[in-house]
Structure 1
Amino acid sequence: MDVLIHLFVGLHIVGIASLLGGFLTQMKAMGRGTARFVPAMLHGAATMLVTGVILVGLNQADDQHVNNIKIGVKLALLIVILDLVYVKRDDETVDKRLFGLVGALTTANVFIAVLWT
């Protein structure tokens, strides 16, 4: 079971890298007001959602403690991120504040995962 959990943790990290990497590649464009949500951001957020749900299930099946409040907060942030990226994915440009919000929520999600014990 540990190998499977570690596999999905790795895939979860790939998802966050895709989401955050897509955001970071658009930072210069955000300064010019021409940033857009790239497909990597949508795919990364979707990967995080799927692998996160699987991880919760695997950890519970392995009788490990799961902090449901922490998972709920992370899920709520991820749903907001996924909704914003999905709805605005075809727009030529995205408002700076909205684009920055996705980056801030993504970063908050990372810090919640790491610091909330």
Structure 2
Amino acid sequence: MDVVINIFVGLHIIGIASLLGGFLTQMKAMSGDGARFVPAMLHGALTMLVTGIVLVGLNQAADHSVNNIKIGIKMAVLVVILALVYVKRDEEKVAKPVFGAVGLLTVVNIFLAVLWT
């Protein structure tokens, strides 16, 4: 079971990398005319959501302790990210505050995962 959990942790990290990488590639555009949400950001957020839900289920099935408050907060942050990216995905230019909020929330989600033990 630990091997399966580790595989999904790896997939979860790939989702984070896709979301944050998509954001970072648009940083230069944000300082100019305006950035846009690239498909990698939407796919990364969806990957994080699906693998995160699977990870919670696998950890509970393996009788590992799960901090439900931490998971709930991380999921709420991710749902906000996913909603912003999904709604604005077809726009050529996204407002700087909205785009910046997605990047900030992504970093917050990463630090929640790493620092909250």
TM over 0.5: yes
Aligned residue for 2:8? 8
Aligned length: 117
Identity %: 74
Q: Does 1:98 align with 2:98?
A: yes
Aligned residue for 2:112? 112
Aligned residue for 2:20? 20
Cα deviation, residue 33, structure 1: 3.3
Aligned residue for 2:56? 56
SS in structure 2 at match of 1:56 = helix
Residue deviations 1:50-95, cap 9 Å, x none?
0000000000000000000000000000000000000000000000
Q: Does 1:42 align with 2:42?
A: yes
SS in structure 2 at match of 1:64 = coil
SS in structure 2 at match of 1:34 = coil
SS in structure 1 at match of 2:92 = coil
- Return the alpha-carbon distance in structure 1 between the equivalents of residues 24 and 33 of structure 2: 14
The 8 Å contact of residues 33 and 95 in structure 1, kept in 2 or not, is answered as no
Normalized against structure 1, the TM-score is what?
0.99
Cα deviation, residue 34, structure 1: 1.7
Normalized against structure 2, the TM-score is what?
0.99
Q: Unaligned regions of 5+ residues in structure 1, if any?
A: none
User: Aligned Cα RMSD in Å?
Assistant: 0.4
SS in structure 2 at match of 1:107 = helix
